[in-house]
Amino acid sequence: MMDRSASLLPLAMLVLLAALTFWLSRVIDGDKPRAPQRHDPDYSVERFQVRRFDPGGKLQHTLVAQKLVHYPDDDTTLVTGPHLTYHQNAPTEITARMAHIGADGKEIDLIDEVRVLRHGVSGDDIPTQLDTRSLKIFPDEERGYTRDPVTITQGRSLIRGKGMEIDNKTGLSVLHGRVTGTLYSKRTEQP
């Protein structure tokens, strides 16, 4: 019988040590629930300009904005008054009231009063204007999409859709949902 209690003594000491460790942990950390991490900015920049170059060293796009605020807890950035300009092919300008840039900078959510203005290749071409409430863009790939209603105008021509995909490299836009519009010919009649 004595041998059995002697062999249980180390096990009892181990259980007592584990219970003491658990108790000390509760005393130090407390039983209070942990609050979520605060969403406070770590830096902000006003009136800035950022330029991005392609691998060949050619200017790809420029971002100009009124204010930028970065949040370290989720590594996101909020931009006020963004103006993004693509310089290659026919110049394209994208503006909005606000933008939310993801952690890796590969996705930008443009919010409120989004306008895309695609200039013609020659100075005589009429620019194409796109208006919507929101637009998710992938700046390096020069493409984007929206699920919100879209209005596209070029001169007097007008097209409306319930969402769209846009590709700046190819110049193609695909409208979704019910699409309506009025198209006017560019040519003029000679008497």
Q: Give the CATH number, domain containing residue 95.
A: 2.60.450.10
Give the pLDDT of residue 78: 93
Residue 153, domain member (yes or no): yes
Residues 145/131, Cβ–Cβ less than 8 Å = no
User: Residue 187: pLDDT above 80?
Assistant: no
Task: Please count the CA atoms within 13 angstroms of the CA of 13 that sit on its side-chain side.
Answer: 6
| Of 110 and 119, the one with more pLDDT | 110
Residue 21, domain member (yes or no): no
User: pLDDT band for position 96 (50/70/90)?
Assistant: very high
- H or E segment and range at residue 105: none
Which residues on adjacent β-strands are paired with residue 131? 115, 151
Which residues on adjacent β-strands are paired with residue 98? 80, 111
Task: Report CA Rg, the chain.
Answer: 29
Residue 36, domain member (yes or no): no
Residue 170, domain member (yes or no): yes
User: pLDDT band for position 98 (50/70/90)?
Assistant: very high
Give the pLDDT of residue 111: 95
Residue 32, domain member (yes or no): no
User: pLDDT band for position 191 (50/70/90)?
Assistant: very low
Residue range(s) defining the domain that contains residue 123: 43-182
Where helices occur in 30-116 by DSSP H, the ranges are none
When divided into structural domains, the chain yields a total of 1
Q: Is the pTM of this model over 0.85?
A: no
Residue 26, domain member (yes or no): no
Residue 28, domain member (yes or no): no
User: pLDDT band for position 189 (50/70/90)?
Assistant: very low
pLDDT in tens, 149-170: 999 999 899 999 999 999 988 8
Residue 57, domain member (yes or no): yes
Return the amino acid letter for 41.
Answer: P
